[in-house]
Amino acid sequence: MPRQPIRAHLRYSIEHEWIDTSATPSRIGITAVAADALGEVVFVDLPEVGAAVQAGEVCGELESTKAVSDLYSPVTGTVVSLNEAAVDDPSVISADPYGEGWLLAVEVTGEGELLSPQEYAERFDADIVEGAEGTEDTEDTEDTTDR
């Protein structure tokens, strides 16, 4: 099985969720490792906007063609928005887990046990890649602007 990519600017839970704490509110999704294990996601159940989530506790569910998997919150806080596009078309979660497939945004009041990209990559045999939110080739256009 090929090594799955993870993003250098994110932090990770042992349950395979990622969080972008550089944004306010923080966005949460599942890793490419989880997406690959699940296969095509066909249904997602997320907490309602305004709901409290607790770090390390179940906050939703993903159903795929292979399995049903709990979604764990990597942080404590309040859900401020959901990715309605992912709810309407869950296949985007598998196709672009770090970009269009993000799941929810949380106003964070506390963090659970989070792994650095290096710790997650070593534990789950993943490759750390640079770049933002699921776009593999975001910097390629800069190289073509030379005279």
What does each of the 147 residues of the chain score in pLDDT, given as a tens digit? 578 999 999 999 999 999 999 989 999 999 999 999 999 999 999 999 999 999 999 999 999 999 999 999 999 999 999 999 999 999 999 999 999 999 999 999 999 999 999 999 999 999 999 865 443 333 332 333 333
Into which CATH architecture does domain 4-121 fall?
Answer: Beta Barrel (2.40)
Task: Give the angle subtended at the CA of 138 by the CAs of 90 and 5, to the nearest 5°.
Answer: 55
pTM: 0.86
What is the structure's pLDDT at 132? 56
